[in-house]
Amino acid sequence: MTAALAIAGCDVLVRPGELHAGAGLLVLDGRVAAVGTEAAPADATTLDGRGLLAIPGLVNAHTHSPENCLRGAGQRLALEPWLMLMFGVGGRYDADAHRVCALAGAAEMLRTGTTAVLDHLWMTPPSAEAIDATMEAYREAGIRAAVAPLMADADTTDVLAASLGVDVSAAAIPVGPTGELLACLEDAMRRWHGREDGRLQLFAGPGGVQWCSDDLLLGAAELAARHATGFHVHLLETTLQDAMCRRRFGGSGLQGLAELGVLGPNVSLPHSVWLGEDDVATIAERGAVVVHNPAANTRLGSGRAPIPALLDAGASVALGADGSASSDNQVMWDEVKLAALIHNDGLTDTWIDGAQALTMATTGGAAALGHRDDGLGTLAPGAPADLALLDRRGSGLAGALDLEGTLALSENGQSVRHVFVAGRQVVRDGCCLTIDEAAVLAELAELAAARVALYRDPPPALRAAVDQMRALRAALLRQSTRP
């Protein structure tokens, strides 16, 4: 139980469009007790909030923590050849490497005002040790975290490639036996889901619709239902993934999920770029959450998700930074700004404003984490006290005319002074209180240095894998543009 906290005199942005100037904030037992401090108990800790703006902590609803030591990798590569390079250079991670990568990402997020994360944790190979190390890191960091161990048991890329006359014998994603993967997932759920008074969660995390058998998708969904947790799966990130799904299901990958019966309010769908109109309607109807990753999708040339259409349909949309090898950081303000810019089209009048982008990064992210009904992502009374205090006199906010627009378009995290998760202070005066960031970054630098030589001079087999996936994408493009 956290001590009572009164933040006196701060402006409070309860949610986009609801600002209480100078009201202050009262926190009791890890939750927002009131907007205002008049009823603060006598023994409450008081923080002078004058000149500060309290906002709901941002939510990073899709990332891959192991990529924190692979930054800058694979420029000018589309997703599929980039994956070959990343997995080849990344190699095997021991438990300590997973710990360091998760801590480094958590520190970067917390310092810049992100208080919750959904980590789609890829492992080489999947193991209880990797999951435990990551969960322990998030426990230590004090961040709110859902970890979805990424698991795949089928790769049918070769089937599509053969139909296009392309050899992909050197290119494959890591897969494992279905039963072993599900057993590992269930064990992790039993040991971790709901720990730290619910701050830590363990989600099902199938790697992607195109990389999972029906048995794995159905088994993961059954475990998620049994443990009352989330189901997080990559969806239709590229045209190649769309082609693989259409070959398998006879329709889109989204409709394939719906027909399997695994699509519902506990499901979050990172990327969701290549959706049709029927897909958009189905997502809204079933209550699933799309996680928009504008930086990674732009960096890898994957396309632009139909976010305006999803919002118009009433679908929930969250934001994710994706891994730091594709985005290339864990600063959610970058994602907010891109989400507010890349969909703007003066010809069709599809515009996303700052308030909408901030909503994706707060209540949208809360929905992806399974917090639709408890106020997470807002500073309303009763909500978990996950919040950041920003300096209103800093360069990001001092010149603000429209607060939400300025937060979305001008802020970069430098204005963040203090951060709280479940009422516990985790950042003070811009410094993490829970993580020895200098020590963690020194370890992260060692992990990166150990991979530099392989990245600069990949062995022939790795070069072949990258080239084959490039050839497959080119063949698919030729087929799609053939008259």
Distances (CA, A) of 128 to 14, 125, 186, 323: 39, 10, 10, 21
| Lowest model confidence (mean pLDDT) among 76-90, 108-122, 338-352 | 338-352
Residue 1 has pLDDT above 70, yes or no: no
26 beta partners: 6, 34
418 beta partners: 389
Beta strands across the sheet bearing 18-20: 18-20, 11-15, 52-56, 387-391, 416-421, 424-428, 431-432
Question: How many residues comprise the chain?
Answer: 483
Question: Which residue, chain included where needed, has tokens 């995290």?
Answer: 413
Confidence (pLDDT) at 347:
80
Question: Which residue, chain included where needed, has tokens 């039993």?
Answer: 190
Residue 2 has pLDDT above 80, yes or no: no
Distance between CA atoms of 387 and 14, rounded to whole angstroms? 10
Distance between CA atoms of 419 and 58, rounded to whole angstroms? 11
Confidence (pLDDT) at 483:
62
What confidence tier does 145 reach under pLDDT thresholds 50, 70, 90?
Answer: very high
Confidence (pLDDT) at 114:
99
Contacts of 149 (CB under 8 A, 6+ apart): 121, 123, 126, 130, 131, 184, 185, 188, 202, 205
Contacts of 96 (CB under 8 A, 6+ apart): 133
What confidence tier does 450 reach under pLDDT thresholds 50, 70, 90?
Answer: very high
Q: What does the pLDDT look like over 308-329, one tens digit per residue?
A: 999 999 999 999 999 999 999 9
- Kind of pairing, strands 18-20 and 25-28? unpaired
- Show the domains of the chain with their CATH numbers: 5-56+380-432 (2.30.40.10), 58-368 (3.20.20.140)
Q: What does the pLDDT look like over 226-247, one tens digit per residue?
A: 999 999 999 999 999 999 999 9
Distance between CA atoms of 9 and 386, rounded to whole angstroms? 18
**pTM beyond 0.85, yes or no:** yes
Distance between CA atoms of 11 and 55, rounded to whole angstroms? 9
Please report, rounded to a whole number, the percentage of residues in the chain having pLDDT higher than 90.
95
Q: What does the pLDDT look like over 49-75, one tens digit per residue?
A: 999 999 999 999 999 999 999 999 999
Distance between CA atoms of 89 and 77, rounded to whole angstroms? 15
H-helix segments, 58-148: 79-90, 95-111, 128-141
Instruction: Compute the radius of gyration of the chain from its Cα atoms.
Output: 22
Query: Residue 230 corresponds to which tokens in the numbers above?
Result: 């989330």
Mean pLDDT of all residues in 360-377: 97
